[in-house]
Chain A
Amino acid sequence: MNGSNFGGPAHKTGKRSLYVAMSVMALILLMAVAGCSKEEESPTATAVPASSDGGSQVASGVSAIAAERGLTEADIEAAVKTFVPSGTHDEYILFASGGHSGQMLVIGMPSMRLLKVVGVYTPEPWQGWAVGDASETSHILDGGDLQDGTELTWGDTHHPALSETAGDYDGEWAFINEKANGRVAVIDLRDFETKQIIKNPLSMSNHGATMVTPDTKWVIEGGQFPAPLDGSYASIDEYEEKWRGVLTMWKFDRSTGRINYDESFAVETPPYWQDLCDAGKLVSAGMIFCGSFNSEMATGGIEDGNPPLEAGISQADMDYLHIFDIDKMTAAVAAGKTDMINGFPVISLETAAAEGILHFAPEPKSPHGADVTPDGEFVVVSGKLDPHVTVYSVPKIKEAIAAGATERDPFGVGILDFDTVVEVQVEVGLGPLHTQFDDQGYAYTSLFLDSAVARWTLGGSFSDLHSEPDWELIHKTPVHYNIGHLVTTEGDTVSPDGKYLVAMNKWSIDRFNVVGPLLPQNFQLLDISESGTTMPVIYDSPIGIGEPHYAQIIKADKLNPWEVYPEVGWNPETQSLDPRAVAPGEEGVTRDGNNVTVKSTLIRSHFTPERVNVKVGDRVTWHMTNLETAFDATHGFALPGQNINLSLEPGEHQTIEFEVTDEGVFTFYCTEFCSALHLEMAGFFMVAPN
């Protein structure tokens, strides 16, 4: 202890409190004597003088390291742009699909550090997500079981969608589709946990999912592989007659944080293999645009001498951009113009065509992506097999619809005239797949075959934002390799940030150390903050968990996640205090016939109780509350022999139920290294013979 002890510079509360006390006393005295109430200013801390840290010395140190490691000036610049020092946070958060890992990835940007793999369609043991059958999270996963009860333990996630308010991310919810079996999940961004998984009652697949309308009233699930909607058998010869596509409109209820199944419905579509969708915004609000790529209705049969699917599907020069009208859909539903299929209301293709719910605009050749510009005025369709992006004008589409379709497809759906609705076509390169936007009036399109990102200028209201001519290719940056989607910072909202772009490359080939024949994918970070031809790659980030497709990037300060659960005894499934929460002193084991109830608490570094005695044939209901309130004080609960592992985060309550079938003694233990006595945090689950 030295002389100056009420507080060094870091602990100045002592001195400040003295000032507060003196101020308060002076105030009271002043009031008592003079009856006047003039407030005194508290003294404020003086600013610390900025330190001068010899910039030239730093630079010479850096160049020595750079020389030794063989780094170029551009490398150093990239490193400086992406390095996020220890203890500081990333500016943006990337939510990427985890592909066929079935999960959702959460990555910090620009560091590209993986922050979390959120368990969604696949059990995730670290989070205790859906491990075994005993926990409540496993029941959430069960929400996506097939109609016949088949349990699914993997998924193929493609497109995450962050919830939006007025067309801008609000950081509250995330949705993600599952293509392989046609499911949709809801993730709460307060705790980054999956809250709901819904199985589409009409379809085994989706692809234009998930996308949200600008106020997240609807979560859109566009289909992909057609089949009879009732799940029955129909031969391939009946393809045109009985196989159908479907667009499902899931009603999201913010107050419950769940999709309301009963207020949701679907629209039947032709079996054209619908692809990516995007919801309209601003001038196009109320519209949904989905690409498609099999208007040929090819059905393959390579083994019978037919052209293979890949050739058959790419025969025609044009496929159809699907244009849906949400108001007309909901009007038809309200008017009862729906058929019930598997207990779910469906607007038939006939009704959709007759009521003008669905229109087509021709689009060149098996395209990918239908992306609405930030002002909502244009829809950009990337050609995939055509080197152009085709830009549709929403006002022209509206006029054409008002004027009436000139042509109809075999199912009676009105086809708008291509030249009437197209604003422009821009040649961007080979294999254009997907387009996003920035704040400088540029669009960015991924070029799969060119392995590049194209930057091109927009027209219309974006014309004033850039100095180049409208609708023109400006630059291509090579990426490594075979880019699928790309994503820019808030690039599919009404106000993109235009700071970074992530190229989601399907192949990495030689970019990383070889880890066997299955290689990670490569997320490449590009700096797009400068205009013109400058948009360098500044970081390579291997993704070794699945094949991510779409992603969205949100400004980190829009997220407001909990650090610990709001109250001790919190049930993350209901996001409320669990009435079964165990308070200190309530712990114990009680038996009622074959039903054994265990009430446990967890706190560093012990379970209470530590001995649980049961018998073969008992049904165990185990309530567990983590009493911790400290940041990061998570406990795990592993019960060997029962396929159980839970993650009990600070304040979390969980209840598990299971049947005991085999005798033996099993040591349950904490799976999160919680404290110096973590290894001692264990107990005994003893199963006696009956």
Chain B
Amino acid sequence: MQRFSQIKEKAFGPRIPREIVFRDRFRFILPTVLMLAAAIVLFVSTFFPYWHMDMDAPQYPRGLEMTIFVNRVEGDVQEVDTLNHYIGMRPLSEAGELERSMSVIAIGALGMLIIAAIFIHNPCALLLTWPVLLYPAIFLFDLWYWMQDFGLNLDDSAPLSNIIEPFVPPLIGEGKIAQFTTYASWESGLWMSMGASVLIALGIFFHRRAYKPLLDEARAENNQHGH
């Protein structure tokens, strides 16, 4: 029995003595709240757009637009595809198929990692939160990867292949493709995911500050027993 609790303590870090919880409640609640908030923000972000592109051209007075969510692309996708076939670009539905199909599950998993980190009171918690910290960057890298893959691999036999050079639209800000001026912007979902990263960073900081003394204490105790 004692052996089991020792293993548990080793894996998940020390449990907090009851009297400390009562005396120093804020110290333990703060990281929990921050990390829980990060998980919720991340989850909520899946309902919001991550990336948006406005496309202006003379014959589109209302412009064309495209909005990327973690699991879908909305907007004038058919029209963009229709235009893209002239320059030999593949249909947008072929981009990031795996990512779109997995995204919600993956973000769920990230949320679970955060929840797990709340209950783990040793430095392993830090390890579990790394994927969440990096998630916005991973999203942007993936987006860039597909944009360059599509933009650089144009079909040479397309009708207008001679008037357009392979291109990579910018991840953010203004770009120019044939008669189109494009404006890419980062949207609320992406900002939320970045916010979740900040919350996680803060959470893990306070998490460490809350549990490190206990951890050190336990370690010292162990050393004493060892002597």
A residues near B, CB below 8 A? 1-2, 5-8, 11, 13-14, 17-18, 20-22, 24-25, 28-29, 32-33, 87, 603-605, 627-631, 675-677, 680
Contacts and interface: CB of A to CB of B under 8 A. Distances in A.
B48 A7 contact: no
Contacts of B48: 20-21, 24
B195 A21 contact: yes
Contact of B86 (A5, A630, A631, A676): A676
Contacts of B124: none
Contacts of B54: 11, 13
Nearest to B78: A629
B134 interface: no
B153 interface: no
B164 interface: no
B41 A25 contact: yes
B189 interface: yes
Given A13-B185, A17-B188, A29 B172 contact: no
- Identify which of B36, B37, B189 gathers the most chain A CB atoms within 10 Å of its CB: B37
10 smallest CB-CB distances across A and B, nearest first, come from: A21-B191, A5-B173, A14-B185, A20-B188, A21-B188, A11-B183, A17-B187, A17-B188, A25-B195, A32-B37
Interface string B10-54: 000000000000000000000001001100110011001100101
19 contacts: A1-B174, A2-B174, A6-B186, A7-B183, A14-B52, A14-B186, A14-B187, A17-B190, A18-B191, A20-B188, A21-B189, A21-B195, A24-B44, A32-B33, A33-B33, A604-B82, A604-B86, A629-B78, A676-B86
Contacts of A6: 172-173, 185-186
B79 interface: yes
A498 B62 CA distance: 34
- Identify which of A6, A14, A33, A629 gathers the most chain B CB atoms within 10 Å of its CB: A14
Interface of B: 33, 36-37, 40-41, 44-45, 48-49, 52, 54, 61-62, 76, 78-79, 82, 86, 159-160, 170, 172-175, 183, 185-192, 194-196, 199
Q: Is the interface of A mostly helix, strand, loop or mixed?
A: loop
Given A6-B173, A21-B191, A25-B192, A629 B37 contact: no
Contacts of B185: 6-7, 11, 13-14, 17
A6 B82 CA distance: 27
A264 B187 CA distance: 59
Nearest to A568: B78
Contacts of B170: 1
Contact of A629 (B41, B79, B173): B79
A50 to B, nearest CB: 24
Contacts of A21: 45, 48, 187-192, 194-195
A28 to B, nearest CB: 5
A183 B1 CA distance: 98
A42 to B, nearest CB: 11
Given A20-B188, A21-B189, A680-B159, A28 B40 contact: yes
A45 to B, nearest CB: 15
A13 B172 CA distance: 12
A87 B58 CA distance: 13
- Identify which of A2, A24, A604 gathers the most chain B CB atoms within 10 Å of its CB: A24
Contacts of A1: 170, 173-175
Given A17-B49, A676-B86, A680-B159, A24 B188 contact: yes
Nearest to B183: A11
Given A28-B40, A28-B41, A603-B82, 10 more contacts: A5-B173, A8-B174, A11-B183, A13-B187, A14-B186, A17-B49, A21-B192, A87-B61, A605-B86, A631-B62
A568 to B, nearest CB: 9
A373 to B, nearest CB: 43
A20 B47 CA distance: 13
A18 B48 CA distance: 12
A264 B173 CA distance: 64
B58 to A, nearest CB: 12
Contacts of B49: 17
A603 B78 CA distance: 11
Contacts of B76: 630
A61 to B, nearest CB: 28
A15 to B, nearest CB: 8
Contacts of B33: 32-33
A315 B86 CA distance: 74
Contacts of B195: 21-22, 25
A624 to B, nearest CB: 17
B185 to A, nearest CB: 3
B1 to A, nearest CB: 36
A597 B37 CA distance: 61
Contact of A28 (B44, B183, B188): B44
A29 B33 CA distance: 8
A677 B159 contact: yes
Contacts of B199: 25, 29
Contacts of A14: 52, 172, 185-187
B36 A32 contact: yes
B173 A17 contact: no
A24 B187 contact: no
A17 B186 contact: yes
A364 B79 CA distance: 63
Contact of A677 (B45, B86, B175): B86
Given A630-B79, A676-B160, A13 B52 contact: yes
Given A24-B192, A631-B62, A676-B86, A5 B41 contact: no
Contacts of A2: 173-174
A13 B50 CA distance: 12
B181 to A, nearest CB: 10
Contacts of A13: 52, 54, 185, 187
A29 B52 contact: no
A676 B164 CA distance: 14
Contacts of A32: 33, 36-37, 40
